[in-house]
């Protein structure tokens, strides 16, 4: 989501500066690739790049292709084959051994309903959305492009020549159910239905100095970060300039100020046992997937006992969302190191991963996109 936000922001700046732009989108990958289908990069006519379609090895040639698309006001599908070890530009430098298909689209700023507009709408609320891009490998001269969006179960299509309403509805429902992007073939065209998950909201209970690195790290990822504390001397925006919000409140007031869903996660680190316990009582049965508790295992056990004594049931479902001590075991000692371990654990939980070292992973790093 952060990449989309950055692209939309860069497009608006380019538009204000009078610069024309093109959007490069990875639409299909065969074999290995640094970025997967759905990765995007905005290119301005003066060569500014926002986003990424590879680890840096394809960007140089992609820049030239994008500028050509701008000058020709066209859409082009370009295929990069990194399987050939004799290809100095793409094979050796990239070393991914894969085939990457990238669609370049000139952005017509005179058209309000252009691809950037669809991207902007895909992130305007906390609902999962689907960005629809149609392309053709068989017929290179027939590229439809990024022309559709399903948001809040409402479909926006700039053209419906390539798909029927029934086909689109069926495909979109499967994407929402799987929470994964999907590739589908219809006639001579292929359709990428990219699943866009809601923005992650991280609420940190606590406004001590050890919270600062956690806020800064989450902000780099584009997460919405909220700091809440009951101390007026600590809950100050100037102490956490990169936080989305800083709230001075009691625990019972916090849950009334935010929307809690599966994309909302919590870390309790006030160093005040009673404050953390009071907040835990209020959020334990909320739809969050992650509640991190700073402190030793004995603190978690004590909290569980106190919840039980207060008549609050903690079953397997509730225990599965509790992470105490908080963070992954990476030997973290300083607050900066702890922040990295906590963010890594949250990312793993939200992605349904175990946090295994990639060296020890038996399968491919990236899951192949579903084809239906």
Mean pLDDT on 189-194: 92
pLDDT digits (tens, 9 = 90+) for 327-366: 999 999 999 999 999 999 999 999 999 888 988 888 877 7
Looking at residue 312, its pLDDT comes to 94
pLDDT digits (tens, 9 = 90+) for 282-332: 999 999 999 999 999 999 999 999 999 999 989 999 999 999 999 999 999
Mean pLDDT on 176-184: 90
Dist CA 63 CA 68 (whole Å): 9
Token code pair at residue 20:
């024309």
Q: What share of the chain is helix, strand, coil (3-state, %, to 5)?
A: 35, 25, 40
Of 3.90.226.10, 3.40.50.720, 3.30.420.40, 3.30.360.10, which CATH number belongs to 201-351? Answer: 3.40.50.720
Indicate the pLDDT class of residue 372, thresholds 50, 70 and 90: confident
- Averaged confidence pLDDT in the chain: 90
Looking at residue 153, its pLDDT comes to 78
Looking at residue 92, its pLDDT comes to 37
Mean pLDDT on 158-167: 81
pLDDT digits (tens, 9 = 90+) for 209-229: 999 999 999 999 999 999 999
Looking at residue 341, its pLDDT comes to 98
**Based on the number of CB atoms within 10 Å of its own CB, is 193 exposed (0-12), middle (13-18) or buried (19 or more)?**
buried
Distance of CA 336 to the CA centre of its chain: 22
Taking 90 as the threshold, does the pLDDT of residue 21 lie above it? yes
Indicate the pLDDT class of residue 30, thresholds 50, 70 and 90: confident
Find the helix or strand (DSSP H, E) in which 149 lies. Answer: strand 145-151
Question: DSSP states of 71-137 as a string?
Answer: HHT-EEEEEEE---TT-IIIIIHH---EEEEEEEEE--TT-SSSHHHHHHHHTSSSS-EEEEEEE-S
Q: Give the domain ranges of the chain.
A: 1-196, 201-351
pLDDT digits (tens, 9 = 90+) for 71-111: 999 999 999 887 665 544 444 344 566 789 999 999 998 88
Looking at residue 91, its pLDDT comes to 44
Bridge partners for 105 per DSSP: 23, 75
Taking 70 as the threshold, does the pLDDT of residue 240 lie above it? yes
Taking 90 as the threshold, does the pLDDT of residue 230 lie above it? yes
Looking at residue 338, its pLDDT comes to 97
């Amino acid at each position: 989501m952060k990449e989309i936000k950055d692209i939309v922001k860069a497009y608006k700046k380019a538009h204000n500066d009078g610069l024309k732009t093109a959007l490069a989108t990875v639409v299909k990958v065969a074999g290995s690739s640094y970025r997967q289908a759905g990765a995007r990069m905005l290119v301005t006519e003066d060569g500014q790049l926002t986003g990424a379609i590879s680890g840096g090895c394809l960007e140089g040639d992609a820049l030239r292709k994008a500028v050509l698309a701008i000058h020709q006001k066209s859409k082009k599908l370009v295929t990069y084959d990194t399987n050939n070890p004799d290809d100095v530009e793409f094979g050796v430098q990239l070393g991914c051994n894969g085939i990457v298909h990238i669609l370049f689209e000139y952005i017509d700023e005179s058209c309000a309903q252009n691809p950037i507009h669809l991207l902007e709408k895909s992130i305007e609320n906390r609902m999962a959305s689907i960005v629809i891009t149609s392309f053709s490998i068989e017929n290179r001269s027939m590229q439809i492009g990024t022309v559709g969006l399903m948001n809040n179960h409402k479909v926006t299509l700039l053209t419906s020549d390539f798909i029927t309403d029934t086909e689109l509805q069926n495909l979109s429902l499967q994407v929402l159910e799987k929470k994964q992007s999907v590739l589908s073939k219809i006639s001579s065209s292929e359709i990428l239905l990219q699943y866009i998950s809601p923005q992650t909201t991280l609420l940190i209970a606590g406004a001590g100095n050890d919270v600062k690195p956690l806020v800064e790290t989450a902000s780099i990822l584009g997460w919405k970060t909220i700091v809440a504390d009951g101390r007026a001397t600590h809950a100050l925006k100037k102490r956490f300039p990169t936080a989305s919000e800083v709230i001075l409140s009691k625990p019972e007031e916090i849950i009334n100020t935010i929307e809690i869903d599966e994309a909302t996660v919590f870390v309790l680190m006030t160093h005040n046992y009673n404050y953390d316990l009071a907040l835990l009582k209020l959020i334990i049965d909320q739809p969050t997937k992650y509640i991190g508790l700073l402190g030793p295992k004995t603190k978690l056990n004590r909290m569980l006992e106190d919840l039980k004594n207060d008549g609050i049931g903690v079953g397997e479902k509730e225990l599965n969302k509790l992470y105490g001590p908080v963070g992954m075991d990476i030997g973290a000692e300083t607050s900066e190191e702890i922040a990295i371990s906590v963010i890594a654990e949250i990312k793993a939980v939200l992605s349904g991963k175990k946090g295994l070292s990639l060296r020890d992973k038996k399968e491919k790093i990236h899951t192949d996109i579903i084809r239906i």
